[in-house]
Amino acid sequence: MTQPAKYLSSLNRLFRRKRAALLTDLREALGTASRTTIFRILKAVGYFTSYSHAGRFYTLRRIPKFDRLGLWSWRGIGFSSRGTLRATSVFLIEQSEAGQTHEELQNRLGLRVHDTLRTLVEERIITRERFADVYVYLSADPKKTAAQIAARKELYVSTAAAVVPPDPLLVIDVLAEVIHHPREDAEAIAERLRAGGRVVTPKQVEEVFHAYGVKKTARSRSPRSRA
């Protein structure tokens, strides 16, 4: 077996055992301490670096099954089709109809992004506006920002008005989305329904979850998560 073929065989054995690996794992599997050699091999087959865990984990390009936002995780290790946490945060804010709060981004990404958001605002790559007691992070493009602010205001109005249980048809729609997308949280399902013309908030979706015993894995939230 030639040396390149040996390396590739060892790499495949490693990633059959685990979906994401540290540099130490790669060194042990490939039998080399050379970073140059390791990254030459990874580059040849294609790879992603984790946006979580300070970018210390690697996976092969063929492994992730990214969701509609380009996110994938394995055992709490997050990867993005856009690469870095910085690039991923910008994308999530830019594509969002009503911008993103830190809590919304944290729930989506599974980690705090205060420092990343602060840097992006300082560099004017994104902007932010205060709504109620939290900041909403928005596109830096003035036209898009205006549209996101309008959508966020509308969302706040509809949230404030949501003092009664959702109507039966909405319950059916929410439960149907849960059946077809069991891994998605209340915010993602609310986004899907709004895209289809429904006026609904994540809070209303959560009320349906609670009423019908839909179990979702809750991420820990800190009082400091508001930004």
Could you write out the DSSP letters of every residue in 7-71? Answer: HHHHHHHHHHH-SSEEHHHHHHHHT---HHHHHHHHHHH-EEE-SSGGG-EEEETTS----TTSE
What's residue 207's pLDDT?
85
Q: Is 95 exposed, middle or buried (0-12, 13-18, 19+ CB in 10 A)?
A: exposed
Assess whether pLDDT exceeds 70 at residue 98: yes
Assess whether pLDDT exceeds 60 at residue 177: yes
More confident residue, 183 or 19: 19
Give the model's confidence band at 64: pLDDT under 50 very low, under 70 low, under 90 confident, else very high: very high
What gap in Å lies between CA 34 and CA 159, rounded to an integer?
55
Give the model's confidence band at 166: pLDDT under 50 very low, under 70 low, under 90 confident, else very high: low
Domain residue spans in the chain?
Answer: 3-60, 162-216
What's residue 3's pLDDT?
54
CB atoms within 10 A of CB 97: 14
What's residue 223's pLDDT?
42
Q: Mean of the pLDDT values across residues 126-149? A: 92
- What is the DSSP secondary structure assignment for residue 80, as one 8-state letter? E
Give the model's confidence band at 165: pLDDT under 50 very low, under 70 low, under 90 confident, else very high: low
What's residue 221's pLDDT?
39
What SS3 state is found at 126?
strand
CATH class of 3-60: mainly alpha
